[in-house]
Amino acid sequence: MRIIVFGANGPTGRLLTEQALGHGHDVVAVTRKPFEFPLAHDRLTVFEGDVLRPDAVDSAIAGADAVLSTLGVPFGKREITTYSAGSANILAAMHRHGVRRLVVVSSSAVDPKPYSDAGILFNRILQPYVARVLGRTLYDDMRRMETLVEGSDLDWTIVRPSGLYDLPTVTDYTMAAGHIDRRFTARVDLAASLLRLAEEEQFVREVVSVVTVTDNPSMAQLLRREAFNK
């Protein structure tokens, strides 16, 4: 397949690109900073482009078999439009070029639900604070993105991982439609699930959760590794 990866220079995007090349696919890694992209391969094209520029998106998507979006932006108080505006450009380009398969990364925080193993502190204080205060503008834009994608006639899948962290190798992760009662997703498993969705075309026009069921960090470890270090 010829796979286009938006957000390719982020942590998940790099893992996805590497895994896709390992599966024998041709990959177009779209990034605003190609000189910072760490991978090189004879089946890899590092494409300098901004998802907010329709002309760049159109050029990147031409000839694609599948489009995978791992776009990511940091929390901020100002309005965020990268997810929705970027997805609008991707959808328009896919329609122009007749590309059908789209997989986009969202977040479980878009529709937060309590977790049975999390306790009162997480369910009633920490999760609401992250979803509704710290990350409000980001998750509002993810919701707009999801609405745009769900309203299209493409063969889309929206993937909602939980708290992201790093593991060295892919695990026996779980993917299912709807909500899964687990709080953590390793980035390497998220990347593997995105590639699997592109290859096997499962969960077409569904919202799915992806979670890692082994080697999960504690909440304190996750905050220390992922939040405070950044």
In 49-151, the DSSP E strands lie at: 66-69, 101-105
Q: Is 52 helix (H, G, I), strand (E, B) or coil?
A: coil
Per-residue pLDDT for 223 more than 70? no
pLDDT in tens, 9-36: 999 999 999 999 999 999 999 999 999 9
Per-residue pLDDT tens over the stretch 58-96: 999 999 999 999 999 998 889 999 999 999 999 999 999
pLDDT, position 226: 55
- pTM here is 0.93
- The mean pLDDT value for 120-130 works out to 82
Lowest-confidence range among 45-49, 141-145, 200-204? 200-204
Better-scored residue on pLDDT, 230 or 156: 156
> What is the pLDDT, as a whole number, of residue 115?
81
Q: Please say whether the beta carbons of 173 and 196 come within 8 A.
A: no
Cross-strand pairs, 31: 48
User: Could you tell me the pLDDT band of residue 134, with boundaries at 50, 70 and 90?
Assistant: confident
Percent of the chain with pLDDT over 70: 94
158 DSSP assignment: E
User: What SS3 state is found at 89?
Assistant: helix
Rounded CA separation 27/40 (Å)? 11
Average pLDDT, the chain: 93
Q: Which of 80, 56, 83 is nearest to 71 (CA)?
A: 83
203 neighbors 71 (Cβ within 8 angstroms): no
pLDDT at 71: 97
Q: Which of 148, 155, 152, 134 is nearest to 198 (CA)?
A: 155
Please say if the pLDDT value at position 229 is more than 60. Answer: no
Query: Under a CB-based contact definition with an 8 Å cutoff, are residues 68 and 103 in contact?
Result: yes
> In this predicted structure, what is the pLDDT of residue 220?
65
Yes or no: say if 202 and 4 are a contact pair by the CB < 8 Å rule: no
Are residues 162 and 185 in contact, defined by beta-carbon separation less than 8 angstroms?
yes
CB neighbours of 42 closer than 8 A, spacing ≥ 6? none
What is the tens place of the pLDDT at every residue in 90-117?
A: 999 999 999 999 999 999 999 988 788 7
Structure tokens at 206: 């569904």
**Non-local CB neighbours of 72 within 8 Å, separated by 6+ positions:** 7, 10, 12, 105
